[in-house]
Amino acid sequence: MSDYILDLRRQVGHRLLMQVGVSVIIVDKRGRILLQQRTDNHTWGYAGGSAEPDEEVESGARREMLEETGLSAKRLELFGIYSGRGTHYIYPNGDEISTVDLVYECRDYTGELKCQPGEVDRLEYFAAENIPDNIHPPHRQPLLDWISKNRQKQY
């Protein structure tokens, strides 16, 4: 969690915060999606977090991708912007958020997979038809949309 969000949490406790999310759906050359198992609720999702004050959103997405997976994006492509009830979430510790999430797709990257200590338990590539059932709730709709959009693509 960023220092900015931690500072806000000290002031407002668990009350609802509106935040700008920057996320990345990482796809390998075989068309599989990289998912991470989270340490907080043990669900699966894509790399992402909050944009920092004055940070360009694409830079934030690159930063989150590197921090959480060890991978550096060469090229990002905006996949979609998600907001509303589907991105409203209460974490296991009681922190409540409503996110406007800018979700990017990345197929061109370098690096070695490395879990971010304290945030990511596991990293694993999944074929679209084999993604786990226990998806992090705010990530469910973007992943379903990505799978639907990419069903017709040949790899």
**Which domains are seen in the chain, by residue range?**
3-150 (3.90.79.10)
Q: 108: which strand partners? A: 75
**What pLDDT, on a 0 to 100 scale, did the predictor assign at position 152?**
62
Per-residue confidence (pLDDT) for residue 155, from 0 to 100: 47
Confidence (pLDDT) at 136: 97
Output the CA angle 112-113-118, nearest 5 degrees.
135
- As a whole number of angstroms, the distance between CA 137 and CA 43 comes to 8
Q: Which of 152, 135, 55, 34 is nearest to 102 (CA)?
A: 55
pLDDT of amino acid 3: 83
Confidence of residue 2 (pLDDT cuts 50, 70, 90): confident
Provide the token pair at 105: 């797709």
What number is the average pLDDT over the span 111-127? 96
More confident residue, 1 or 150: 150
Arithmetic mean of pLDDT, 55-84: 98
What's the pLDDT tens digit per position in 73-85? Answer: 999 999 999 999 9
Nearest to 133 by CA among 69, 64, 42: 42
Q: Tokens in use for 117?
A: 């200590």
User: What's the DSSP call for residue 51?
Assistant: P
Report yes or no: 46 and 131 within 8 Å, Cβ to Cβ.
no
What count of Cα atoms within 13 Å lies in the side-chain half-sphere of residue 82? 25
Cβ count within 10 A of residue 30: 8
Q: What are 35-56's pLDDT values in tens digits? A: 999 999 999 999 999 999 999 9
SS3 category, 4: helix
The alpha helices in 27-78, defined as continuous H runs, are 57-69
